[in-house]
Structure 1
Amino acid sequence: MASIPALVEPAVLRWARRSIGLDTVAAARKIGVPDDRIEKWEAGDEQPTIAQLKSAATAYKRPLAVFFLAEPPQGFDAMRDFRRHDESDGEWSPELHGEYRRALLQRDNSLELFELDDALPSSSWIVSLPGGSDDDLARAARKKLLGATPVPLPTGSGGPYEHLNTWVSALEEAGVLVMATHGGKVKTREMRAFSLYFETMPVIMLNGADSARGRLFSLLHEYAHLLLHTGGLCDMIADTKATSIDRQLEARCNAIAASILMPAELVLRRPEVVARVNRQGTWDYEALRSAAAPFGTSAEAFLRRLVVLGRVSHEFYSARRPEFLATYEAEESRSKAGGGNWYRNQARDLGKGYVRHVADAHRRRVIDSYTAATYLNVKVGQIERLARTAAIQEPV
């Protein structure tokens, strides 16, 4: 039986491939055709079959119908000019392209559910203090978020996952869509987090391969971007010089995030800090880790906060930072478990607030089972258990 050719424009095929960052050979291998076939399709020398076009739609993460347009769409899911550090490769990986697109898709899904309910998302994440300092902004944001969160900050022996759960829940309650990259597909050296600024339902995507402490600081760093009406992709490189405009913005967001997570008055009251006034040389990794634990942050982030608060010098920080980072990274590597629970990972990656929103609409029959399963990327029979996993009391 002869294969049915798909009558598609070569320019549309070229646009779809480039939009996800694949070269022709990589695309051919994902689709399962000879290495030179993509070039022939895009030159108009050959046409894909319907079956091959369906494979291309899957590889390029595009609806099949898009390929039958007469020309490449204009402004259709166009990439923003995200901020990148000077050391970062300007090209996005196909995995990062896909996660960016998923963030926009999930936001569209959420907004559709609100529209079906004739309701509006919360906008309480917005904090406006005309003329106020960044410390004032951080103080007001912390008070507003923690005043409305359904999960209070942990006390005593609460670990980094409990702290992360509190702040994620607080931002979701305030109207921010929080999610994570799937299965560690995007490397942390390429992206620690990104944010998409919208007045209604902004988005923060964390890197699911990052540690809980890393995700926590990235979460508040991206929230600082939203407070400043900016969005972008960050690798969270610490830079005390901050000479370029982009680095100055990153340093500012780092400072706001640190101020939200580690208020000055609470840091300065820590017994480890009180005992080391004018004795910065006595700080070691164990002391920093102990002092940082009640805030859910890393020892390195706490040390950086001490620099800002004038308790240790820039020279001490620069000299000891590599040692503390190496110890922290080794510690995090030992604590990482392989695999994990699929439902928990799926709830984390989709975002627990998003899962609860979709599951609630399904329970109330606002949407049918097929739609709910499509929104959650699961089978219909998995919806109920995924919803239970995303319940407020579960750790992230």
Structure 2
Amino acid sequence: MSVAAPVPVSSAVLVWARQESGYALERVAEKLAVAPERLAEWERGERQPTMRQIEMLARVFHRPLSLFFQPKPPSLPPLAAEYRRLPGIVPGAESPELRLALRKMSARREAMLQLLIELGESTAVFDLAAHLAESPVAVAERLRAALGVSPMHQREWSNEWQAWAAWRTAVERLGVLVFQFSKIPPEEARGLALLRTPLPVAAVNPKEIPEIRAFTLIHEVVHLMLAAAKEEAPAARETRDDEAWAAVERFAEETASQTLVPEAMLAQEIQAGALPRHDWDLSDVRSLARRFKITPLAMATRLRGSGYFDWAHYQGWKRAWESFVATLKPRSGGYAHPVELTLGRAGRPFTRTVLEALDANRITPVNAARYLDLKFEHFEKLRAALTKRPGAEAADE
């Protein structure tokens, strides 16, 4: 019985590929069905893997096969030099899933910039900035005006999916790439931002309901505004302690809340609905939340912020809400077509640019399929979907 021959590879490259992808040695060994001791021997250069094992490593790490035949590891800046500080995430110790998502979004942004150059098109400029010394209300008014979302348009949205699509489109018009990242639990990351210019990135977790995605998106845009004003630095360079950073997060949350629910519009909707009917109970808050297409908890927080009820009432309401939520059945994920996943993940501006580059013979069908992570056989459906009004194309992945 023949035994597959070992293939000489750089042990330093093997170590780099695993560590840069965020994997512990034991987890990689499990995926390859080899003993951890054997993988450690590869990384020390005492043994060599077979070709099949190298191919498996490339798939696990989502790296090109050619990388493993380089004499030394590539020199790349840390991922934390791009994304904003995230609660509970230690720069350099991100999960493999989050590191992969960050790499993919960063590569997508770089591809977008290159394709725009190839097509001779200009790059949109995100020129909004915010300072922590400002009032969140003032920043929200400025952001809302730039987004171009009027109270009339907001009232016309028939459901939360239309609302999410409208907020996303409005943010994309500002020169921001809006992506979605998959396979990451919301507890790890609900949203993130790549603080790069031009074309900064605001990304959200598609495992969240659309009402939460909209808030998360605006929240991330506020962080982009703070970064534009040099009030915030990427995670690798952020030096604030936890207390100071919590103040930054509160500023972003309050500004996002004021953007989605402006004070004047809130008062008008309360009056129009003759609220509260029952001392701001669950039904009152849920009714008002439906008008703005946000979650009841977000609406309760907004009402407390505007003084419609005090802290004690809010705490009691929140306990009642949590008890109610505990009685609900979990939502099923459902099925999403690959085209819907692509539009949800990559967004319309990026998708449209890739197709334009393909039509102009600037890239090959193979490259287009790789950029969009979509088989070429689905491209006609993708083109048809782009002609339709943005909607519920952001299902779970």
**TM-score range, shorter-chain basis?**
0.7 to 0.9
Query: Equivalent residue of 1:208, what SS?
Result: coil
Query: Equivalent residue of 1:155, what SS?
Result: helix
- 1:259 is matched by which residue type in structure 2? Q
Q: Which of 306-315 and 96-105 deviates more?
A: 306-315
Q: Which residue of 2 aligns with 1:39?
A: 40
Matched, 1:73 2:74: yes
Does structure 2 conserve the Cα–Cα contact (< 8 Å) formed by 1:211 and 1:332?
Answer: no
Matched, 1:55 2:89: no
Change (3 A) 1:275 1:228: same
Query: Equivalent residue of 1:270, what SS?
Result: helix
How far apart, CA to CA, are the structure 2 residues paired with 1:30 and 1:105? 25
The Cα offsets for residues 324-377 of structure 1, whole Å up to 9 and x where unpaired, read as: 24535765834x452233321232122233222212222333322111111111
Aligned pairs (5 A) from 1:125-204: 125-128=126-129, 133-146=135-148, 153-156=153-156, 158-182=158-182, 185-204=183-202
Aligned pairs (5 A) from 1:99-110: 99-110=101-112
Q: Which residue of 2 aligns with 1:263?
A: 262
Structure 1 residue runs without a partner (length 5+): 234-241
Q: Which residue of 1 aligns with 2:308?
A: 311
How far apart, CA to CA, are the structure 1 residues paired with 2:314 and 2:378? 48
How far apart, CA to CA, are the structure 2 residues paired with 1:214 and 1:4? 53
Matched, 1:292 2:294: no
Q: Which residue of 2 aligns with 1:236?
A: none
The Cα offsets for residues 246-265 of structure 1, whole Å up to 9 and x where unpaired, read as: 21111110011111111111
Match of 2:375 among 365, 379, 390: 379
The Cα offsets for residues 22-70 of structure 1, whole Å up to 9 and x where unpaired, read as: 1112112323434432111111111122332122112112222333333
Change (3 A) 1:341 1:26: same
How far apart, CA to CA, are the structure 2 residues paired with 1:96 and 1:315? 38
Superposed CA RMSD = 3.0
Equivalenced residues, count: 379
- 2:252 is matched by which residue type in structure 1? C
- 1:181 is matched by which residue type in structure 2? F
Query: Equivalent residue of 2:330, what SS?
Result: helix
Structure 2 residue runs without a partner (length 5+): 236-240, 393-397
Offset of 1:275 from its aligned partner? 4.3
Change (3 A) 1:54 1:245: same
Query: Equivalent residue of 2:75, what SS?
Result: coil
- 1:139 is matched by which residue type in structure 2? E
TM (norm. structure 1) is 0.86
The Cα offsets for residues 124-183 of structure 1, whole Å up to 9 and x where unpaired, read as: x42246785332221111111126x9xx9453461111111001111122211111123x
Does structure 2 conserve the Cα–Cα contact (< 8 Å) formed by 1:116 and 1:366?
Answer: yes
Q: Sequence identity, in percent? A: 25
Structure with larger RCO (C-alpha < 8 A, sep 6+): 2
Does structure 2 conserve the Cα–Cα contact (< 8 Å) formed by 1:154 and 1:162?
Answer: no
Does structure 2 conserve the Cα–Cα contact (< 8 Å) formed by 1:196 and 1:231?
Answer: no
Matched, 1:355 2:351: yes
Change (3 A) 1:295 1:287: same
- 2:166 is matched by which residue type in structure 1? T
Q: Which of 93-102 and 348-357 deviates more?
A: 348-357
Query: Equivalent residue of 1:271, what SS?
Result: helix
Q: Which of 348-357 and 195-204 deviates more?
A: 348-357
How far apart, CA to CA, are the structure 2 residues paired with 1:196 and 1:112? 17
Q: Which residue of 2 aligns with 1:209?
A: 207
Query: Equivalent residue of 2:178, what SS?
Result: strand
Query: Equivalent residue of 2:203, what SS?
Result: strand
Change (3 A) 1:377 1:154: same
Does structure 1 conserve the Cα–Cα contact (< 8 Å) formed by 2:18 and 2:61?
Answer: yes
TM (norm. structure 2) is 0.85
How far apart, CA to CA, are the structure 2 residues paired with 1:354 and 1:198? 16
- 1:266 is matched by which residue type in structure 2? M
How far apart, CA to CA, are the structure 1 residues paired with 2:267 and 2:314? 17
